[in-house]
Amino acid sequence: MAQTLSGKTLSGKTLSGKTVAILATDGVELVELTEPMKALNEAGAAVEIVSLKAGDFQGFNHLTPGDKVTADKAVAGVDASAYSALMLPGGVANPDQLRANEDAVKFVRAFFDAGKPVAAICHAPWLLIEAGVVEGRTMTAFDSIRTDLRNAGAHVVDEPVVVDQGLVTSRNPDDIPAFNAKMIEEFAEGRHREQAEKTQGVQPVAH
């Protein structure tokens, strides 16, 4: 059953002992990376930033270059089994580059196959489409990619945050408070058997 939330204060959830991956690269919308990362750290999670290569990549504030972000690891060398959950920030160029990288797509798909929770905001669901995991799901996203989601078989709604069996999605930076609250809640709950069931028999987009 999908849920929607207009926003509420998070309380009583801990991610102590959990390691969360954030997958991002050049063009990431900084606030969609830094604010969820702060919330994850405050909830007790260990956070690792994974990118196309280890080291610095360029963050953006909408269309203006901002601070650089340092990736802890390259996606080609990491295993999703090392993480409890995955967070995907937006920005236009960020998910567009990631969805063209086979290692990044496989990394994302592995979380769904294992029933692990995933949170994606703004343009990040482009990467979920590429991983073949949106069909039959209720989701939201930035308005310009909602047609892409519908074409991939998702049921798209215009809500601040939507939860569907461990998958958390939001539309834009204004939704970050609600997004963070539901992200922490789902990550604290851990594996969702239904998450894996939704992707059985559905293959990622072939490259």
User: Of 81, 207, 192, nearest to 137 (Cα)?
Assistant: 192
Annotation says 123 is catalytic: yes
What is the Cα–Cα distance from 96 to 199, expressed in whole angstroms? 22
What is the Cα–Cα distance from 116 to 94, expressed in whole angstroms? 22
Q: Which two tokens stand for residue 89?
A: 């920030």
Which residue, chain included where needed, has tokens 């050049």?
Answer: 26
3-state secondary structure of 67: strand
Which residue, chain included where needed, has tokens 């029933």?
Answer: 115
End-to-end, the C-alpha distance of the chain in Å comes to 32
Which residue type is seen at 87?
Answer: M
- 159: number of Cβ within 10 Å: 19
DSSP 131: T
From the list 62, 122, 155, 192, the catalytic residue is 122
From the list 62, 123, 155, 207, the catalytic residue is 123
User: Of 54, 46, 55, nearest to 87 (Cα)?
Assistant: 46
Residues with a catalytic annotation lie at 122-123
